[in-house]
Chain A
Amino acid sequence: MNRNFVLGQYVPGNSYLYRLDPRVKIISTILLMVSVFFLTTYYEILGALGVILLILLSGRISIIKAIRGLKPLLVLSLFVFFFQIFFNQTGTVIYTSELVFSISSIVSIIVLTFLFFFIRRFIKFKFILLLIYLASIYLSLAYLAYPNILYSYTLNIFDKGLETSLFVFFRLITVVFIATILTLTTKPTDLTLGIEYLLKPLKVFKINSEEIALIITIALRYIPTILEEAYRIMDAQASRGADFNSGSLFKKIKIIVSLLIPMFIISFERSDELADAMLSRNFVPGKEKTKYHILRWKAIDTMSLVLSFILLGGSICLFIIV
């Protein structure tokens, strides 16, 4: 199990993106995301990606860290990309190739799969390995036709298909980049503070935004603590011979139970204690509180809000004109 879990992606830094008011950052993120969805062609999306990269560079955020934020979505975006290429059959054919299933190609696919899972353990660049794996599967399907052909499939790639797949792929990347800018430059606590302010109008519907923010803050605060506790419990069970890594599925489920029950019990105890501690310091739910961190609106906040509105307006204009 991975023990180097890091919550959130916040990386300490010092640029204008860090100094922006969290409220502005949340609103701008939403505006930019919406404006990305108004774009209709792939070169507009590339333009938007360029703008986002400019924001990243001007905010002195390392691009490598931003790309790392894409990691969880890489497989999904690849899937979307290939799905569009294979199944969007409009426009003219730009590339065609015969995919052949024969005994030799099936054997080579099986061997490649074994190799892939074997090498995966020792290699750092798993994504590149995945690409090589997919490419070699394609090659073996295209060229290995020995001894006889069992089934053949003609792969046609259409220009519209390629266009839409590029479009969808880059749109996904752009949207994730926008979200990454927010999470890389904003502390989770600031984020909840911003959400608290933005949800204030919900008071009309008798929803208390302060309580929601408090719940989020407490949850965020306790994730590392509870994680630490989980590792302690795992150690305690491991020292009684519990094996979290191997064994049959049934055994594994039993072992997980030995982790979950103490965790639940400790968490409930802890939440009771926390509630008592808050009450003993005169916390009254729903009552107006003064704040230690006060958000201040600065000129740069107005500027960036105006800029994001301009970007949104621009993309709506493009949408209407084109």
Chain B
Amino acid sequence: MGISLKEVSFSYNPKRKGTVYALHNINLEITDKDEFIAIIGETGSGKSTLASIFNALKIPTSGEAYVSGIKIKKIRKRRENYNNIRKHVGLVFQMSDYQLFENTVIDDVMFAPLNFSKTKEEAREIAKHSLELVHIDESFYEKSPFLLSGGEKKLVSIAGILAMEPDILIFDEPTAGIDPSTKKKLLKLFKEFNEVHHKSIIIITHDMNIVNSYAKRVILMKKGRIALDSTPYELFKENSDIVKDSNIDLPDTYTLIDFIEEKTGIKIDKHLKNLDEIAEVLTYES
């Protein structure tokens, strides 16, 4: 079913005159299988607001938003909540400190399943499974989450979201403030979720190398509107005006390929996604 937005606008102060809309007439379809989407754009372009609408944390000011078939609208009754949406769409926040609060790692991961009325034993099984998915081994289970390193905290907070068993996973700037080795680990994980477990992945990022080498689809936000919704190749190759307008750096591979072409005249296919592949082509050429 996935996510479907029709003419969605959002403003933080809809009643105030001359209010600025964080989102403007957004039309978007995201399926809940096998997608790998990168949302990019300058700060304040509405990326995070879009992500919180996917998670029903914000309610559209106008337009219709459906997540797994459920319309997001204002809650009228006290008993209602959006847990059926949040079960489908897991949102991992940028700061893992916002999420961790229990005494032990395993308890923290169990928090979500317990909220979805699982028994303690079931919750523990699910928590163990999701910690395994992020490759956190058993020696960590009884540790306090506050004594972990930044990267480990991030993994635990991701496990906390995986424990809801969502079909769509959203990561808000997952690699910000993370050391390179954990970054590699995270990206490998995302690929695994996407290709092995067939989950849809949405990442909000400023890192164009990630966009180029991992994403299958890229959504460029600009001033609350979708400026472009295409593949990374089209974004970087064919729409160079848009790239310049939005102050986007080209990925390393594109810069390198342009450089090589300028210096040696060897033309390399820009579909290549990482430096190893380029090196291979180069050795073959020479």
Contacts and interface: CB of A to CB of B under 8 A. Distances in A.
A253 to B, nearest CB: 13
B57 A239 contact: yes
Given A239-B90, A240-B111, A246-B81, A262 B97 contact: yes
B211 interface: no
B86 A241 contact: yes
B49 to A, nearest CB: 12
B87 interface: yes
Interface stretch (A76-84, A128-136, A230-238, A294-302): A230-238
A243 B83 contact: yes
Interface in A231-267: 232-233, 235-243, 245-246, 257-259, 261-262, 265-266
Contacts of A229: 98
Contacts, number: 65
Contacts of A237: 99, 101, 111
A258 B116 contact: no
A235 B97 CA distance: 13
A235 B52 contact: yes
Interface residues of B, number: 27
Contacts of A238: 57, 82, 86
Contact of A257 (B52, B99, B101, B146): B101
Contacts of A257: 101
B169 to A, nearest CB: 12
Interface string B105-147: 0000001100110000000000000000000000000000010
B79 interface: yes
B114 to A, nearest CB: 8
Given A235-B52, A243-B81, A243-B115, A262 B101 contact: yes
A262 B99 contact: yes
Interface of A: 229, 232-233, 235-243, 245-246, 257-259, 261-262, 265-266, 269
Given A237-B111, A240-B161, 9 more contacts: A233-B99, A239-B57, A240-B164, A241-B86, A243-B81, A245-B78, A262-B98, A262-B99, A269-B97
13 contacts: A233-B99, A235-B52, A236-B99, A238-B57, A239-B91, A239-B93, A239-B161, A240-B99, A241-B83, A241-B87, A241-B112, A259-B101, A266-B98
